[in-house]
Amino acid sequence: MADAASPESAATLILLLPVAVPLLAAPLVAAVGRWLPRLLVDALALAVAGSVLGLGVALAVLSRHHDVVITAGGWGDVQGHPVGIAVVADPASAGLVALAGFVTALVLVYTWRYFEDVDAIWHALLLVFLAALSGLVLVGDLFSLFVTLELVSVVGFVLTGYRVEAERSVQGALSFAVASTVGGVLSLVGIALVYARTGELGLAPVGRALAAGPHDALVPLSLGLVLVGYLVKAAAVPFHFWTAGAEMVAPTPVCIALSGVMVTTGVYAVGRIYHVAYQPALPAASVRPTLLGLAAVTALVGALMSLAQRHFKRMLAFSTIAHVGILLVGIGLLSPAGAAGAAIYAVGHAGAKGALFCVAGILLSRFDTVDEGQLHGRGRPLRGTAAVALLGGLALAGVPPFGTGLGKAVTEDAARRSGLTWLVPVLVLAAALTGAAVLRFSLRCFLGWGKPAREPGIEGRPDEEPEPDPPGRLLISAWLLLALSLGAGVAGTAWGAAAGDRLVDGAAYRHAVLVGAGPIRHATAPAGWVWGGVPLAVAPVLVALVVAVLWLAAPPRVDVARGVLALLSPLRRWHSGRVGDEVTWMLAGTVVIGLALFVASR
Partner 1 sequence: MTSRQRRLVAVPVGAGLAVVLALAFHGLPAFGTAHHPYGDASVRAALALRHTANAVGSVTFDQRGLDTLFEEFILLAAVLGVRLLLRPAAGEHQGTDPDREPRSPAAVRATVLVLLGVTAVLSVSVVLHGHLSPGGGFQGGVLAASGLHLLYVGGGPRTLARFRPSAALELLEAAGAGGYVVIGLVGLVGSGSFLANDLPLGRTGSLLSAGTVPLLNIVVGFEVGAGLVLLLASYFAQERLAEGPR
Partner 2 sequence: MTALAFGVAAVVLLAGLYGVVTSRDYLHLVVCLVVAQSSTYVLLLGIGYRAHATAPVFSDHPKGPVVDPVVQALTLTDVVVGATVLALLLALVVQAAKGAGGYCDPDALNDLHG
| Residues 588, 594: Cα–Cα separation, whole Å | 10
- Candidate segments 38-46, 149-157, 519-527, 550-558, binder of partner 2 by CB under 8 A: 149-157
Applying CB under 8 A, which of residues 425, 578, 591, 599 lies at the interface with partner 2?
A: 578
- Work out what residue 598 binds among partner 1, partner 2, none; the CB cut-off runs from 5 to 8 Å by kind: partner 1
Cβ atoms of 546 and 199 closer than 8 Å: no
Q: Is 308 in the site for partner 2 (CB under 8 A)?
A: yes
Residue 115 Rama label (left phi>0; alpha psi -120 to 50; beta): left
| Residues 272, 99: Cα–Cα separation, whole Å | 17
- Candidate segments 275-283, 313-321, 470-478, 577-585, binder of partner 1 by CB under 8 A: 577-585
Nearest to 225, CA basis, from 185, 180, 181:
185
Q: Is 224 in the site for partner 2 (CB under 8 A)?
A: no
- Candidate segments 6-14, 413-421, 484-492, 568-576, binder of partner 2 by CB under 8 A: 568-576
Identity of the residue, 79 or 524, whose beta carbon is nearer to partner 1 in the bound complex: 79
Cβ atoms of 276 and 198 closer than 8 Å: no
Q: Classify residue 400 by its DSSP letter.
A: T
Identity of the residue, 158 or 476, whose beta carbon is nearer to partner 2 in the bound complex: 158
- Work out what residue 519 binds among partner 2, partner 1, none; the CB cut-off runs from 5 to 8 Å by kind: none
- Work out what residue 75 binds among partner 1, partner 2, none; the CB cut-off runs from 5 to 8 Å by kind: partner 1
∠ CA 550-444-310, rounded to 5°: 85
Applying CB under 8 A, which of residues 28, 133, 234, 375 lies at the interface with partner 1?
A: 28
Which 3 state secondary structure label does DSSP give 69? strand
Identity of the residue, 510 or 575, whose beta carbon is nearer to partner 2 in the bound complex: 575
| Residues 350, 274: Cα–Cα separation, whole Å | 24
- Work out what residue 174 binds among partner 1, partner 2, none; the CB cut-off runs from 5 to 8 Å by kind: partner 2
Applying CB under 8 A, which of residues 158, 390, 494, 560 lies at the interface with partner 2?
A: 158
Q: Is 132 in the site for partner 1 (CB under 8 A)?
A: yes
Burial class (CB in 10 A: 0-12, 13-18, 19+), 39: exposed
Cβ atoms of 439 and 544 closer than 8 Å: yes
Q: Where are the alpha helices (DSSP H) in 418-533?
A: 423-447, 471-491, 493-504, 506-514
Cβ atoms of 50 and 101 closer than 8 Å: yes
Q: Is 171 in the site for partner 2 (CB under 8 A)?
A: yes
Which 3 state secondary structure label does DSSP give 141? strand
CB of 19 to partner 2, least distance (A): 17
Chain-centroid distance of CA 141 in Å reads 21
Q: Is 359 in the site for partner 2 (CB under 8 A)?
A: no
- Candidate segments 73-81, 102-110, 243-251, 320-328, binder of partner 1 by CB under 8 A: 73-81
Cβ atoms of 341 and 435 closer than 8 Å: no
Applying CB under 8 A, which of residues 23, 173, 343, 364 lies at the interface with partner 2?
A: 173
Q: Which helix (H) or strand (E) holds 89?
A: strand 86-89
Applying CB under 8 A, which of residues 23, 248, 363, 523 lies at the interface with partner 1?
A: 23
Q: Is 172 in the site for partner 2 (CB under 8 A)?
A: yes
Neighbouring residues of 60: CB distance < 8 A, sequence distance ≥ 6: 89, 91, 94, 95, 98, 495
Applying CB under 8 A, which of residues 3, 5, 78, 459 lies at the interface with partner 1?
A: 78
Q: Classify residue 72 by its DSSP letter.
A: G
Applying CB under 8 A, which of residues 102, 110, 114, 162 lies at the interface with partner 1?
A: 162
Identity of the residue, 244 or 360, whose beta carbon is nearer to partner 2 in the bound complex: 244
Residues that bind partner 2 (CB under 8 A): 143, 147, 150, 153-154, 157-158, 161, 164, 167-168, 170-175, 177-178, 181-182, 184-185, 188-189, 192, 195-196, 201, 244-245, 248-249, 308, 458, 572-573, 575-580, 583-584, 587
